[in-house]
Structure 1
Amino acid sequence: MALRPTLDFLLYDWLDAPSLQQRERFADHSRETFDAVLDTCERIAREKYAPFNRTVDTQEPQFDGEKVVLPQATHDAHKAFVESGMLSAAQDYDIGGMQLPYTLQAAANSFFAMASVSIGSNMLTSGNANLLMVHGTEMQKDVFARNEFSGRWAGTMCLSEPQAGSSLSDVATRAVPDGPDFQSDPLGPRYRLTGNKMWISSGDHELTENIVHIVLAKIPDENGKLIPGTRGISLFIVPKKMVDSKGQLTGERNDVALAGLNHKLGWRGTTNTLLNFGEGKYQPQGKGGAIGYLVGQPGKGLHCMFHMMNEARIGVGLAATMLGMAGYQASLEYAKNRPQGRPVGPGGKDAAKAQIRIIEHADVRRMLLAQKSYCEGALALELYCARLVDEQRTGTAQAADEARLLLEVLTPIAKSWPSEWCLEANSLAIQVHGGYGYTRDFPVEQYWRDNRLNMIHEGTHGIQGMDLLGRKVLMEEGRGLQLLAARIKATRERAAQVPELAQHAQALGQALQQVTSATQAAWATGQPTDALANAVPYMQAFGHTVLAWIWLDVALAALRADATKSVASTAGQLGAARYFYHYELPKIGAWLNVVESRDLTCASLPEDAF
């Protein structure tokens, strides 16, 4: 994998990750420990993940009537990942963590996502445990989160339902108090859940001895009716197997049953399930209904769950990025070695001359450079967001507050932009391969299939667009957007003093002005139906502007580090930035035109006209 030089540059030359060592939480670390973590994860990914990416695609999970069967390679990879300590890498020492910066954890996880995203890197397990560390009781942290961080148990996120999909206000799973003493259970207020959950990744498997489901359900009112909307939604811990207050299995199954496996276009190595809660197949403590322990306060389930959802969205963005990167590396290698065609001279092509490699054709270079600009730019964005997480956790009060707001604004972009444009990179990788790319003899078709999921799960593209334009740019009177604009301005001012980048700085300023103007125009009538009709084009333009800023900042770092870097590497970064400014940033005009004019072509077309 030719990923390491890019990671090293972004971590050390651009984000200055070693400066985090000056903070008390990370004082035990050094560049050497950071490198050792990256070396270990790169080796595990190379030995346990990459060789089996095709295996887990062709040997899909199977349910034998009692358990879900996965290839041995998945068990081996999971074991190696757990033993690396990466599940709890950013956690405190006293719960078995390494107190690494989240920036390093995200960078290290990129190796696994690139080697085989389908085998997975336990994103939901760590997200589940992190949620409990914030919102759970001390007992819930000790019993559930610690066992997830150790890799002994796995975790899921159970939101969607067959009839509701992404519409969480329509959740119908019920949770009722389990008897008059339901408040006295040491693991938390005990409820009985009934309902169905759909699209649950890793919802059933034998990789760990237990699975901890985090489940959204509604507590009925005093009349036994579910409260409409999201107000009644609460959050519950529902273990697959019952446990005691010491974290030991009791030998009893909870009333959670696998109803079926979903057979997917890609990402086939990870089980995706339909789960039935409380169907009566199992009878924990003598009666039906899945036992769940309340997390946080009743009716505050979505508030708690968003902690996990936002973390998962950045994880999805990183997965999409690395699938794009895998395709880019594969198509680059192919283009360097595939002879085809001849150069065009003044008199046309000379058939007597030897064939040239396809990387020498201008259009192939265009496709490669597009992939490079999408994927390396997206990786920089994801690591920047990870750096904001560290700032939120360990910075000064002002720095932490600013990081929080910037993350709110950038999270929809960190999820959606790579899931769209790194998917496009995968499509270009197939195109570079030509007909061979459309066969299963080469890996690029699988990368595309795996990546196609990322525009859908953890909030679809449309949901991310509405979240960005409908909430994030407006929250706290637009302060998050103002903070982002200030950081963009600071980069522009530095770049304006550099002859190679001055033109880019000017273009970025114009793009930011267009986005700001379109934001105001979209909400000019104050009507959400007007503003949000073109939320996705808005998000595309916003994302392209953010990526243009990221590339300009990266280009500045490349020029600063020029004395210690190879000429080819610097030329590649500057070339990718130039490509993005010449070929990609100009696209925002068309997107913002429909936003600014509040064009209702799509929203107003009568149904029968379709």
Structure 2
Amino acid sequence: MSLRQTLDFLLYDWLHADRLNERTRFAEHSRETFDAVFDTCERIARERYAPFNRLVDTEEPRFDGERVILPRATHEAHEAYVASGLLGAAQDYEEGGMQLPFTVEAAAGTFFATASVSIGSGMLTKGNANLLMVHGTEAQKAAFARHEFSGRFSGTMALSEPQAGSSLSDVATRATPDGADFESDALGPRYRLRGNKMWISAGEHELSENIIHLVLAKIPGPDGKLVPGTRGISLFIVPKKLVDAEGQLTGERNDVALAGLNHKLGWRGTTNTLLNFGEGKYPVRAQQGGGLDGRGAGAIGYLVGRPGEGLRCMFHMMNEARIGIGMAAASLGLAGYYASLDYAKNRPQGRPVGPAGKDAARPQVRIIEHADIKRMLLAQKAYCEGALALLLYCAQLVDEQHTGTPEAADEARLLLEVLTPIAKSWPSEVCLESNSLAIQIHGGYGYTRDFPVEQYWRDQRLNMIHEGTHGIQAADLLGRKVLMEDGRGLALLMQRIDATIARAAQREDLAEHAQALAAALQQVVAATRSAWASGDAREALANAVPYMQAFGHVVIAWTWLDVALAVPQGAKEPAQVGRLACARYFQRYELPKIGAWLGVVASRDPTCAEVPEESF
């Protein structure tokens, strides 16, 4: 079964996404227009992405001292994507967009990620521009965001620093006002930034006219010192090339310099950079009292929002990117699954075992006829299609948040808060195991570059790290999301799961699964209470990762049970039988694992937290 067939079922038979056109914002759309978008994406991915996935892996970006050089195939793929209008597809008609539902936009992205995740399809550019459309001024939207949606500019997020990594409270990049009248610039209060940023994806290239960096930095206080912690962080637009109020290039380069390229295990087609801001390589004219007084040190940056609110603004892009990374993880898992399925159907090896053992005189069978190969294929299918279903559900929550009734929008917001850590991390971890199984099915061939599955595994391994590591997401889930608003978001999710359980209990073929999920849900609720029983955050969070693993498994078990309800009882069509088999596999093989994970959570087991450093 193809990706398109899976998307069609999940979108239309399960989520009923075609009903979104009943809402005013999407009234001019229909299933036909959604399908036309998918046709375009499928074609571009097939023609411009998939044939070059190996090429961009072997011909890594390189820096010649002046510019970053990428394969011509990357430029052509980017040009085709931009020409399709997909960068601004969800924007208003007045903005040149298509007013597509985010659900459809997210689904469309899977074609590109499955074909070649490291060529990329504008995730950061869209996230950058979307942030500015919410938190930027009208002038900033005109000069930067709208040119990103058109594909003329591209965007990044510059958070991490070499000495700080994911610890954003330790950001040391400084931003100081640029002259006495620094607030007079049409593009917003103008600052000078000095510092270094690490792990910046797409931080330097020539795919677009300009690169718009969104940079976290701290504004020194009256005493010249940086405010400690995250309270002092502000957000700045720092373009690679300076622009005027309409977004036209002034011809002057900003003081943003490439310090080096990071050479990665996977995602090799995307440049990953260390950038220096304000090192003096490209000194920019200084502003003083509204006039020009020579060349000054520091990269020009324009404040977004209010001082000290940078992290709040940046979370708009970070949360969007986390859903995007989860979708990339599911897509890479599916790419490995499709490759190993094809291999298993065509590779003859071994003979069936009969009552008297194996008969060497009989012809070989294809490996898909062996039970253990079916186990590995079914695991991959359950992991990856389950992850895809959850992410499409989250995408629909985004549409609900923006176009639903006030009550529905608030519920969607709460559900997204709770589900986002899982939607990012669960696919990243479990679909990596799926890619490992794809290698295993190929046997020794899978470990070579003769087949694509080793590259899928390498590309996948990054997803557990970027946009917040597994441990960070786990601490966010148990430390914040299940507690926020007195646990209202968690309670709402439990209600949604309970509703699915009640419906499934009425079906003879699903009643067993409903009962298992109900018991698992109670385990999660009890473990959550036990984790926080002492009120000591150190005790509660010591086992946050096992908690999220269990919570994620329960959420995917719920997702599969809900998907199974969209399959008619007694269905014989192969694809439908496969979906029911996935629901059954997850309930019987995966859900029982949560007991061990939740055991250490509920007991607040101190083994990991208290082992002395010297013991290692």
Given the two structures, how large is their TM-score scaled by the length of structure 1?
0.99
Deviation at 1:559, TM superposition (A): 1.9
Equivalent positions of 1:263-302 (< 5 A) are: 263-285=263-285, 286-302=295-311
Report the equivalent of 2:320: 311
Whole-Å Cα distance in 2 between the matches of residues 82 and 508 of structure 1?
Answer: 44
Report the equivalent of 1:27: 27
Gaps of 5+ in 2: 286-294
Report the equivalent of 1:558: 567
Report the equivalent of 1:431: 440
Alignment of 1:51 with 2:51, yes or no, is yes
Alignment of 1:529 with 2:535, yes or no, is no
Whole-Å Cα distance in 2 between the matches of residues 559 and 501 of structure 1?
Answer: 11
Whole-Å Cα distance in 2 between the matches of residues 569 and 365 of structure 1?
Answer: 15
Deviation at 1:544, TM superposition (A): 0.2
Deviation at 1:283, TM superposition (A): 1.2
Whole-Å Cα distance in 2 between the matches of residues 543 and 87 of structure 1?
Answer: 31
SS, match of residue 558 in structure 1: coil
SS, match of residue 257 in structure 1: strand
Alignment of 1:514 with 2:520, yes or no, is no
Alignment of 1:226 with 2:226, yes or no, is yes
Report the equivalent of 1:83: 83
One-letter identity of the residue aligned with 2:264: K
Runs of 4+ in structure 1 deviating by more than 4 angstroms, as ranges, are: none
Equivalent positions of 1:146-545 (< 5 A) are: 146-285=146-285, 286-545=295-554
Whole-Å Cα distance in 2 between the matches of residues 412 and 489 of structure 1?
Answer: 21
Deviation at 1:323, TM superposition (A): 0.3
- For the aligned residues, what is the CA RMSD? 0.8
Whole-Å Cα distance in 2 between the matches of residues 373 and 47 of structure 1?
Answer: 28
Whole-Å Cα distance in 2 between the matches of residues 559 and 426 of structure 1?
Answer: 31
Question: Greater CA deviation, 293-302 or 277-286?
Answer: 277-286
Report the equivalent of 2:587: 581
Deviation at 1:608, TM superposition (A): 0.6
Deviation at 1:288, TM superposition (A): 1.7
- Give per-residue Cα distances to partners, 1:104-123, cap 9 Å, x unaligned: 00010100000000101110
Tell me the matched-pair count.
Answer: 607
Deviation at 1:246, TM superposition (A): 1.3
Deviation at 1:287, TM superposition (A): 1.4
Report the equivalent of 2:292: none
Alignment of 1:571 with 2:580, yes or no, is no
Alignment of 1:607 with 2:613, yes or no, is yes
One-letter identity of the residue aligned with 1:456: I
Report the equivalent of 1:36: 36
Whole-Å Cα distance in 1 between the matches of residues 404 and 142 of structure 2?
Answer: 27
Given the two structures, how large is their TM-score scaled by the length of structure 2?
0.98
Whole-Å Cα distance in 2 between the matches of residues 586 and 577 of structure 1?
Answer: 14
Report the equivalent of 1:122: 122
Whole-Å Cα distance in 1 between the matches of residues 247 and 320 of structure 2?
Answer: 26
Deviation at 1:605, TM superposition (A): 0.4
SS, match of residue 273 in structure 1: strand
Deviation at 1:16, TM superposition (A): 0.3
- Give per-residue Cα distances to partners, 1:42-83, cap 9 Å, x unaligned: 000000000000000000000011000000000000000001
Whole-Å Cα distance in 1 between the matches of residues 113 and 191 of structure 2?
Answer: 37
- Give per-residue Cα distances to partners, 1:435-484, cap 9 Å, x unaligned: 00000000000000000000000000000000000000000000000000
% identical aligned pairs? 77
Whole-Å Cα distance in 2 between the matches of residues 385 and 30 of structure 1?
Answer: 21
One-letter identity of the residue aligned with 1:577: A
Report the equivalent of 1:4: 4
SS, match of residue 506 in structure 2: coil
Whole-Å Cα distance in 2 between the matches of residues 142 and 103 of structure 1?
Answer: 26
One-letter identity of the residue aligned with 1:459: G
SS, match of residue 231 in structure 1: helix
